[in-house]
């Protein structure tokens, strides 16, 4: 089959008329940058409540706001910049949308090794009084990232099964989100915290590897493993030993995003992490998720009285 397919395609050539059309092309006029991003300039209102933080999608000035864009380049480069903390790109991609073509340059992010010198602390996520929780749906994920194009093309999150939970304040705004996306060769974990604080972590590291991405410090590290076993057989059904984790705060929220991939797919993990960082910093996530009837209501002090409560102000 291969030989026949190759032999067939080898004899396919453009017609003389098409050739003449192509060599007669001239560069189109560049579209006005503001018109290109006009739809993104329409923003939802940011809600600010007394004693609480509401989150919405923020409008951003787009002129020249592409993250770390130097020279657009489509192929991935292994380590285009020397030393952590320097701006740069690892390539990018184009998205066509009717007549509009957007180019997204993906930021280079440096990753430190797995936290070796670290302290593990126990914590309980204590939501404010009057908060409620509910499960996150696939539709919520689409709302969060801004639609199917964003999910599939901008983020590369297509084909994943989603689970997660949102904690909502008494005014209905999202306070904390935890999300897990799982596929056959990929797992993603996303935590979002309202305000400019990072989601709490049980690991405190001594030395951080930080990259400046458009003025936002992004901490990156490796070392997580994602595994899943079959409950009935005890057999490992999913084993993803490579990971990339990014932590940063932008657009009124703190993020921890972890990508788990099979061995040898580190480059793919880095790509997915960069894609998320680009979208979260340049566009922001849409955190105006609807709060349904509460599944459970939080009492002050949390439900694990034997563990110290997490206090971001401590």
User: Torsions phi, psi of 23, nearest 5?
Assistant: -75, -10
CB of 251 to other proteins, least distance (A): 25
Closer to other proteins by Cβ: residue 77 or 86: 77
Residue 237: C-alpha distances to residues 177, 183, 234, 242, 244 (Å): 27, 11, 9, 16, 21
Closer to other proteins by Cβ: residue 4 or 120: 4
Give the torsion sign (CA, 14, 16, 22, 23): positive
Closer to other proteins by Cβ: residue 148 or 208: 148
CB of 32 to other proteins, least distance (A): 14
Number of residues in the chain? 314
Distance (Å, rounded) from C-alpha 157 to C-alpha 39? 23
Closer to other proteins by Cβ: residue 1 or 314: 1
Distance (Å, rounded) from C-alpha 56 to C-alpha 198? 17
Closer to other proteins by Cβ: residue 3 or 303: 3
CB of 115 to other proteins, least distance (A): 27
Beta bridge partners of 177: 166, 192
CB of 104 to other proteins, least distance (A): 11
Closer to other proteins by Cβ: residue 132 or 268: 268
CB of 161 to other proteins, least distance (A): 14
Please choose, from the candidates 261, 50, 57, 238, the residue with its C-alpha nearest in 3D space to the C-alpha of residue 144: 57
Closer to other proteins by Cβ: residue 146 or 252: 146
Residues found near other proteins in the complex (CB under 8 A): 1-2, 4-9, 11-15, 18-19, 21-23, 25-28, 30, 71-76, 91, 93-98, 101, 103, 153, 156, 158-159, 183-186, 262, 265, 267-268
CB of 73 to other proteins, least distance (A): 7
Beta bridge partners of 53: 48
Distance (Å, rounded) from C-alpha 88 to C-alpha 81? 7
CB 290 within 8 A of CB 123: no
CB of 213 to other proteins, least distance (A): 21
CA 278 to chain centre: 8
Collapsing DSSP to helix, strand or coil, 218 comes out as strand
């Amino acid at each position: 089959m291969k030989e026949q397919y190759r032999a067939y395609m080898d004899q396919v050539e453009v017609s003389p008329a098409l050739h003449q059309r192509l060599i007669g092309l001239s560069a189109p006029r560049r579209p006005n940058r503001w018109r290109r991003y006009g739809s993104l300039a329409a923003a939802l209102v940011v809600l600010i409540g007394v004693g609480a933080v509401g989150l919405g999608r923020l409008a951003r000035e787009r002129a020249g706001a592409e993250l770390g864009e130097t020279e657009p380049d489509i192929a991935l480069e292994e380590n285009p910049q020397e030393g952590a903390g320097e701006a740069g790109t690892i390539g990018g991609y184009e998205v066509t949308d009717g007549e509009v073509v957007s180019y997204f340059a993906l930021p280079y992010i440096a990753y430190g090794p797995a936290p070796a010198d670290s302290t593990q602390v126990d914590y309980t996520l204590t939501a404010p009084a009057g908060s409620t929780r509910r499960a996150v749906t696939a539709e919520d994920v689409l709302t969060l990232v801004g639609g199917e194009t964003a999910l599939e093309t901008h983020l590369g999150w297509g084909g994943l099964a989603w689970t997660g939970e949102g904690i909502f304040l008494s005014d209905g705004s999202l306070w904390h989100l935890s999300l897990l996306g799982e596929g056959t060769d990929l797992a993603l974990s996303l935590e979002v915290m309202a305000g400019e604080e990072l989601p709490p972590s049980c690991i405190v590291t001594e030395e951080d590897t930080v990259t400046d991405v458009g003025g936002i410090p992004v901490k990156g590290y490796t070392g997580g493993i994602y595994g899943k076993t079959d409950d009935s057989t005890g057999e490992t059904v999913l084993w993803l030993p490579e990971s990339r984790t990014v932590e940063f705060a932008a657009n009124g929220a703190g993020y921890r995003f972890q990508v788990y991939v099979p061995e040898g797919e580190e480059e793919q993990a880095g790509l997915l992490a960069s894609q998320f960082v680009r979208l979260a910093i340049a566009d922001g996530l849409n955190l105006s998720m609807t709060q349904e009837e509460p599944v459970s209501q939080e009492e002050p002090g949390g439900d694990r009285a034997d563990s110290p409560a997490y206090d971001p102000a401590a």
